[in-house]
Amino acid sequence: MSTFGHLFRVTTFGESHCASVGAIIDGCPPGLELSAEDIQIQLSRRRPGQSNLTTPRNEKDLVHLQSGLEHGVTLGTPIALLVKNEDQRPHDYSETDLYPRPSHADYTYLEKYGVKASSGGGRSSARETVGRVAAGAIAEKYLKIAYGIEIVAFVSSVGKIHLPSTATATNSDDDNDDAPDPLSPEFRKLLDTITREQVDSHPTRCPHPETAERMTKRIIRAKDAQDSIGGTVTCVIRNVPSGLGEPVFNKFEATLAHAMLSIPATKAFEIGSGFRGTEVPGSAHNDPFIQRPDGSLGTLTNWSGGIQGGITNGESIYFRIGFKSPATISQAQPTAQYDGTPGSLAARGRHDPCVVPRAVPIVEAMAALVVMDQLLIQNSRRAARELLPPITTLPPTMVLPKKQGKVEEKEGGSA
Q: Is 293 in the site for a second copy (CB under 8 A)?
A: no
134 in Cβ contact with 81 (< 8 Å): yes
The interface mask with a second copy, positions 385-404, x = CB under 8 A, is: xxxxx-x-xxx-xxxx--xx
SS3 392: coil
Q: How far is the CB of 249 from a second copy (least distance, A)?
A: 4
E-assigned strands of 119-206? Answer: 150-158, 161-162
236: part of which helix (H) or strand (E)? strand 231-238
| Distance from C-alpha of 37 to C-alpha of 13, rounded to nearest angstrom | 21
Q: Is 47 in the site for a second copy (CB under 8 A)?
A: no
- Of residues 295-324, which lie at the interface with a second copy (CB under 8 A)? 295-297, 299, 303-305, 307-314, 322-324
Burial class (CB in 10 A: 0-12, 13-18, 19+), 216: buried
| 89 vs 275 by CB, closer to a second copy | 275
Q: How far is the CB of 52 from a second copy (least distance, A)?
A: 18
352 in Cβ contact with 380 (< 8 Å): no
| 50 vs 250 by CB, closer to a second copy | 250
Q: Is 351 a catalytic residue?
A: no
Q: Is 346 in the site for a second copy (CB under 8 A)?
A: no
How many Å separate Cα 276 from the centre of its chain?
A: 21
Q: Which stretch binds a second copy (CB under 8 A): 27-35, 43-51, 188-196, 198-206?
A: 27-35
Identified binder of a second copy from the candidate list 91, 174, 192, 415, rule CB under 8 A: 415
SS3 246: strand
Q: Is 173 a catalytic residue?
A: no
Q: Choose, from 26, 61, 287, 352, the residue flagged as catalytic.
A: 352
Q: Is 350 in the site for a second copy (CB under 8 A)?
A: no
First-to-last alpha carbon distance for the chain, in angstroms, is: 37
Q: Which stretch binds a second copy (CB under 8 A): 36-44, 48-56, 207-215, 374-382?
A: 374-382
SS3 248: coil
Q: Is 361 in the site for a second copy (CB under 8 A)?
A: no
| Distance from C-alpha of 178 to C-alpha of 164, rounded to nearest angstrom | 8
DSSP letter assigned to residue 326: P
Q: How far is the CB of 401 from a second copy (least distance, A)?
A: 9
Q: How far is the CB of 220 from a second copy (least distance, A)?
A: 13
Q: How far is the CB of 251 from a second copy (least distance, A)?
A: 5
236 bridge partner residues: 152, 318
Q: Is 405 in the site for a second copy (CB under 8 A)?
A: no
CA 47-257-327 angle, to 5 degrees, is 50
Q: How far is the CB of 144 from a second copy (least distance, A)?
A: 11
Q: Is 104 a catalytic residue?
A: yes
- Of residues 71-90, which lie at the interface with a second copy (CB under 8 A)? 71-80, 82
Question: Catalytic residue positions?
Answer: 17, 104, 352
